[in-house]
Amino acid sequence: MKIVSIEARAIDRGFQKQVLQTSRVASPMSRFPRFGEKRSSWMWPTKKVFVRVVTEDGTTGWSCTNGGEIVAMIVNDHLSRLLMGEQIGDIASLWDQMFFSLLPCDRSGFSMMAVSGVDIALWDLAAKTQGQSLVSMLGGSAQNTLPVYVTTPQPEVHGAAGWRGLKAAAPFGPETGQTGLQANVDYMRKFRDIAGQDVPIMIDAFMAWDADYTLRFLDAAHDLNLHWIEDPIPPYDIEGMKRIKSEMDPSVSLALGNFAFSRWDCADLLRERLVDVLQPDVAWAGGISETLRILDMADAADVPVILHNTCEQPWALALAAARQADALVEFVDRGAESQLYGLMGPPAVFAQGCVTIPNDIAGNRPQPDVENQFAPVTAGAHMEGR
């Protein structure tokens, strides 16, 4: 079955209005005063990118990733012309074509978001063609639910919900000095008081810190029994990461990989024995095809994987259910009425700290509500020269 259309659209779904964007959260830009108060003041293009792949019989595969107009441009102006007219059967070969064609430009960031978007849509297309759920295509699961931890700025709302952990986004970075450091510790003490002693608490520094600040924070928070600290420094600072790993309390884990954009980025973390919990994002790290390779690598290294922002991505839930033993997944608290909860179908369903696995036949799912913003496609369209 040949591909006749690949199209991406960048659509505003309210990302900049969510509470994690409008409240104070530390970031790599916090060092600049005008960008320190909220992420939305500087964030990269935040429109969601919906990708549609259509075959000659009209079957349609969908996905969603990040990166706004930049990622949509890469899909529309480059990747689409490479894959037009190709057979959908060998997704791994199509992935290689996309990846190697982008090497002169980049091998991470927006480029890999674009590759991820097309790859996930191809898997969705394959599941529909075969009349299966994605979970079944990936090997099936004996479970109906997965345990969940929540990332939230409002632990008081979630403390009694049965989540398997409460994670905070650090409000302050080194630019706020000792006052900000103490405020971070006090913030985590609030999480511990609400969670109690039996529920893990974690903190995500979103690459805003340096090695010295990270170690000082961990020393100041030693009595809080932190489960992990996530992405404390930029991923390029391998030497800083080595220092943190060697000097930090070994009872606290180092969670890394949100900004690992391929198996090679993950391999660096695993080879250097820096990561205790690997957290790649399926929609950023090369899609389903590449995440399968990452899961195999991490399994061989005996390092657990928690797929980043799992509960907004049905394909990530499917991977966790079908390919991970004892999986734990992440739910990001966007606020009461965020559009981001149901981008690719009905929002995830939670009960007693667990999420229901989306195990429906792919072809039975409703199309995303953005379909009317895409061009009509007829059989044989856009296949000139094939």
- pLDDT score at 381: 53
- pLDDT score at 378: 64
- Which CATH code is given to the segment(s) 137-364? 3.20.20.120
- pLDDT score at 294: 98
Q: Helix or strand or coil: residue 228?
A: strand
Cα diameter, the chain: 66
- pLDDT score at 338: 84
- pLDDT score at 377: 72
Place of tokens 């003490």: 189
- pLDDT score at 379: 52
Q: What are the catalytic residues?
A: 308
- pLDDT score at 336: 81
**290: alpha, beta or left? (left if phi > 0; alpha if psi -120 to 50):** alpha
Cα separation values, 33 from 22, 62, 177, 213, Å: 15, 40, 13, 18
Using H for helix, E for strand and C for coil, what is the string for 276-300?
CEECCCCCCCCHHHHHHHHHHHHHH
Domain boundaries defined on the chain: 3-132, 137-364
Token pair of 246, please? Answer: 């060697």
Token pair of 208, please? Answer: 């805003």
CB 186 within 8 A of CB 170: no
Its pTM stands at 0.95
- pLDDT score at 386: 41
For residues 329, 330, 331, 334, the Cα torsion angle rounded to the nearest 10 degrees is: -160
DSSP string, 297-340: HHHHTT--B--TTGGG-HHHHHHHHHH-TT--EEEE---TT-GG
Show the low-confidence residues of the chain (pLDDT under 50): 382-386
- pLDDT score at 362: 79
Distance CA 146, CA 380 (A): 42
CATH superfamily of 3-132: Enolase-like, N-terminal domain (3.30.390.10)
Give the Cβ contact number of residue 163 at 10 Å.
24
Q: Which long-range contacts (CB under 8 A, 24 or more apart) does 334-342 make?
A: 334/18, 334/19, 334/20, 335/18, 335/19, 338/14, 338/18, 339/13, 339/14, 340/13, 340/14, 340/15, 340/18, 340/48, 340/312, 341/312
- pLDDT score at 384: 44
- pLDDT score at 56: 94
